[in-house]
Structures are given as C-alpha cells and as structure tokens.
A and B are shown apart, each in its own frame.
Chain A
Amino acid sequence: MRPWRSANLSRPIVRTLPRCRGLAGVAVFVAAWQAIVSGFHLPPYLLPSPVETARTLVQDAGLLAPHLAMTLVETLAGLALAVSVGISIAILMSASRWTRDLLYPPLVLSQAIPLMAIAPLILIWFGLGILAKVLIVAFVCFFPVAVNAYEGFRAVDPAYRDLLTTLGATRADRYRHFYLPAALPGIVAGLKLSATYSVLGAIVGEWLGGSRGLGVYMTRSLQSFRTDRLFGAILVVMALSYGLFTIVDLAGARLTPWLGRRTHA
C-alpha cells in the first residue's frame, strides 16, 4: 500500500460513466439510422437498415475475416513505420536550426500532395502487394507524429538541459532521459491522430489495386450493388479505427503515469 496514493479515480463508477455515455451516443446514432430507413421506406440497395447490415456482417464474417486481417497488418506495419520515421525526423529537426530549416518546409509541403494523386504512383513504383499499402499508410500517418514530437522537443525547459550538462550527460543521454519522455505526451497525441487516419490510408491503397483487404472487399461490394456489404465494411473500418485509437490512448496513459489518469473511453 502506497500511503501517498489517492484511490478516488480508480472507483468503478467513475471509470464506467464515460463509457455509458459513449454507448448511449452510438445507440442514438443507430436508432436515427433505423428511423430514417423505416420512415422513408428506403430500399436496401440505397440505404440498408442497421438490422440488415448487422445480419450481412454475421453471414459474411468468414468472407470478411481475411480482408480484415490484411488491412490490419498493413495498418499496423504502416503505423510502426510512420512512428519510426516521424520521431527520427523530429530528432533531426530538433538537433540544430540548420537541420530544422532544411527539413521543416519539405515536411509541411509533403502534406499538400493529394493522397489520391500520390497513392497510385506508390502502387506503380512498389507494385500491388503489401509494401505499397504500408508505404501509403506511413505517408498518411508520419506527419502528425513528426510535428507533435518536434513541438514536444521544442517546448522543453532548457534548465533541464543545463542540469544534465552538470551531471555529465551526453547528447544521447539527454534524449533518453529528458527530450523523449518530455515529448511523449505530444507523440501520443500525434499517434492518436495517426491511428485514426491509418485505416483510411490502407483502404485507399487497397481501393486502387490489390487482391485482399477491406478496400478490395468494398470495391467488389459496390460493383455488385451489395450496399449492405459496403455498409458492413464501413462499420468494420469504423470499429477498427476506434479500436486503434483506444489502444493508443490506453497505451499512452500507461506510458505517461506522471500525467495522472485520463478519462477517455
């Protein structure tokens, strides 16, 4: 038992309430969806009801699973690459004014390139396999990580750097003990944004070419006018994005215990 700990925030009711509100929000959305379909007597090929979509999802679970697995692999690999590249760029930019001036403008300009223009090129350069999709996800996701990490490095109190100098710390020591932990909340914030974009990046890549993935499943559903399958896939994509976001959020809270417990779902 640690005498200095206050246990108030770990009470179950405090942790459960935000989740209840979140579920209530989803329930309202689903109810409104069902009401629109029933109220306007919309045919399933135009807008399937939530019940029909759920039924299709269950029926097609076996068909959907390999596509979901492929998208998940591409997304996670792309995210990992984005984090490595983003943090490396941030470290280089924070090393000196010279490297910052050299790297920051191209970094910002890279985000002005439309994804729908660069993605087909990446597919032409790297083929229709998994590599091209991973690179597209990394392209979509590295920017929030790089910018947030760099801003985290920049916002640190220089007095800590002086203290580490008096302790004989090397540059690598300074990054390990100070800059990286200090920038961690920013990196996690960037990663949360990236996690939500990442699935979208993989879907775009698959949509443009490939043999497996939720993007491929969606194009095939659309071409055969199976709107219920398309909606099912959209729900899976949403759940995947939300799941990744939540995992990053929880991992971030575990990695930054000094910031106290957060109240995200």
Chain B
Amino acid sequence: MIPLVDVVGLAKSFGDLRVLGCVSFRVNEGEAVGILGPSGCGKTTLLRILLGLESADGGRVSTQLERAGYLPQDVLLFPWKTAMENAELPLELQGLRREVRRGRVRQELPRFGLEEFADAYPHEMSGGMRQRLALLRAVLTGSRALVLDEPFGALDTLTRHRLQDWLTSLLDDLDRTLLFVTHDLDEAVSLSRRVVVLSRRPAHVVGEVAVSLTREERSNRLGRRVLLARDQVLSLLERGEEHAGQPV
C-alpha cells in the first residue's frame, strides 16, 4: 500500500497552548479514514498541517495532500457565485476553458442532486444542498484524496444521515481516498473503513478501529455490527479521556 499521509510524532502549540501532543498515523491510498476526537482537541489544526496551511512544531509529516479536494467545516461557498460558478472554480483555476469546465460541472450535477440549481446562489439553497455543492467543488479538483473537516456537523440528524449514506455510495463510485475529522462517533463509524481516535488536548492517538461493514450495514444505524464498531470506538474515546496528554 502507498501511504498518502504518513505522520510520526506530530506536535503543535499556539503560544503556551499545546494542541497536538504526539500524533502518529498513516493513511493509505484508497482508504476511508476518519479521525475522531472530542471538540477542541486539535482535529482542524491537524488537517491544516496536512494540507500545508499550517506548519508543525515537531515530528515528521509526509503527505500528498497539498492539492487535495478540501471541504472546510463551514463549507465556504462564495456567496457571489452561483452553484455553477462555485463548482467550476477549481477547473477555472486550473485554466480550463469555460465550455469545457461548464460541461464537466453539468455532467456531475445530477449525481449531486443539484441539476435544477445550477443558477441558484448559495443563500437560495438548503444546508444539505450547500454541503453537496461544496463536496462537488472538492471532487472537481480532480485530486486523488478528499479531505473533509466535520463534513455534516452543522446539519440536523435526518439530513446528516441521508447525506452520510449518499456520500458512502458516492465514494464507492468515485474511488478516492477519504480523510475526514469529526467529533461525531456515528459519523466516524458510518463513513470510514478505519477510525483513528484522538485524546483530549494535547492530542495523541489513543488507538484505531477497523470498521468492516457493507453499505447496507452502514445505513442501518441500529444494526448489531454497527453498534459493535460503535462500542469499540467509544471505549477508545473513554480511554483517551482517562489518559489525556500521554500516549497510550
């Protein structure tokens, strides 16, 4: 397996505040990895370092995520651009001609449930549609990896579940590596093949859980195997609380 991300002993502080203690993990090409940790443990900082937006204070980071398809926590759609213009931005920055990039976007819009909203502005769309549009923009970067920061955290439970199921099937079609951070245990189990659990701040990796579930099993959130995976991850989270600040 080729590692897309290889992090060893990563540390980061902001002044006196130690955010990342000693974080080590690896993401191989084609994997779907969720990084789960309590709120404020430094998950977004970790992603920013991996994306090259922040420098680390210590440790070794080897990534190929500089041009990854990135979905930020607040989706960050440009309010002055229509859905079409938002989606085509990565292609425009790559220098593609207008008709080529518009053709590409039009081809993808139905898969993202946005075919009727190409000319709509973000404020005219629902929260779920905005998430799908931001994800479309990330997919259209053409990168082998998608990096998502708390992908559906701001949505209501039903919409979140619907989008998680939709994203799972989309990822099966797209054949991309997925790396995301979340504080939502259900989201971590539902979207990833492997969950990396972080402790409280200063964060370190408490452990990892492999989640081998079929698409149907994932969508049944009260299924036996889902609950089993959930319990395993939960017990790691609790261990992280007990041993905060020191690698387990």
Contacts and interface: CB of A to CB of B under 8 A. Distances in A.
B72 A167 contact: no
B89 A258 contact: no
B186 to A, nearest CB: 26
A258 B76 CA distance: 15
B67 A166 contact: yes
Given A163-B70, A181-B78, A5 B124 contact: yes
A181 B76 contact: no
Interface in B24-74: 48, 51-53, 66-68, 70, 72, 74
Contacts of A182: 80
A165 B93 contact: no
Nearest to A163: B76
Contacts of A256: 80
A177 B78 contact: yes
Interface in B71-102: 72, 74, 76, 78-81, 89-90, 93-94
A3 B67 contact: no
Contact of B141 (A159, A167, A184): A167
A258 B123 contact: yes
Contact of B120 (A4, A164, A167): A4
A173 B93 contact: yes
B79 A258 contact: yes
Find the residue from A177, A181, A184 having the highest chain B CB count within 10 A.
Answer: A177
Contacts of B119: 2
Contact of B72 (A2, A4, A159, A169): A159
B117 interface: yes
Contacts of B227: none
B173 interface: no
Given A166-B51, A166-B53, A167-B90, A159 B74 contact: yes
Interface string A252-263: 000011100000
A159 B121 CA distance: 20
Given A159-B74, A165-B53, A168-B94, A4 B125 contact: yes
B216 interface: no
B7 to A, nearest CB: 18
Contacts of B121: 257-258
A178 B78 contact: yes
A162 interface: yes
A38 to B, nearest CB: 53
A2 B93 contact: no
A29 interface: no
A129 B117 CA distance: 54
Contact of A2 (B76, B80, B120, B123): B120
A257 B122 CA distance: 11
B172 interface: no
B134 to A, nearest CB: 10
Contacts of B141: 167
Nearest to B122: A258
Interface in A124-158: 157
Nearest to B66: A166
B76 A4 contact: no
Contact of B53 (A162, A257, A258): A162
Contacts of B48: 162
A4 B130 CA distance: 14
A181 B80 contact: yes
Interface string A76-110: 00000000000000000000000000000000000
A189 to B, nearest CB: 16
B116 interface: yes
A175 to B, nearest CB: 13
Nearest to A173: B93
A160 interface: yes
Given A4-B120, A162-B48, A162-B53, A168 B76 contact: no
Nearest to A180: B80
A4 to B, nearest CB: 5
B80 A168 contact: no
21 contacts: A2-B119, A2-B120, A4-B120, A4-B125, A5-B124, A159-B74, A162-B48, A162-B51, A162-B53, A163-B76, A165-B52, A166-B51, A166-B70, A167-B141, A173-B93, A181-B78, A182-B80, A184-B80, A257-B80, A258-B80, A258-B123
Interface of A: 2-5, 157, 159-160, 162-169, 173, 177-178, 181-182, 184, 256-258
Given A159-B72, A173-B93, A184-B80, 12 more contacts: A4-B120, A157-B76, A162-B72, A163-B72, A165-B52, A165-B53, A166-B66, A166-B67, A166-B70, A167-B90, A257-B80, A257-B121
The 8 closest A-B pairs by CB, nearest first: A181-B80, A258-B79, A166-B70, A4-B124, A162-B53, A258-B80, A258-B121, A163-B76
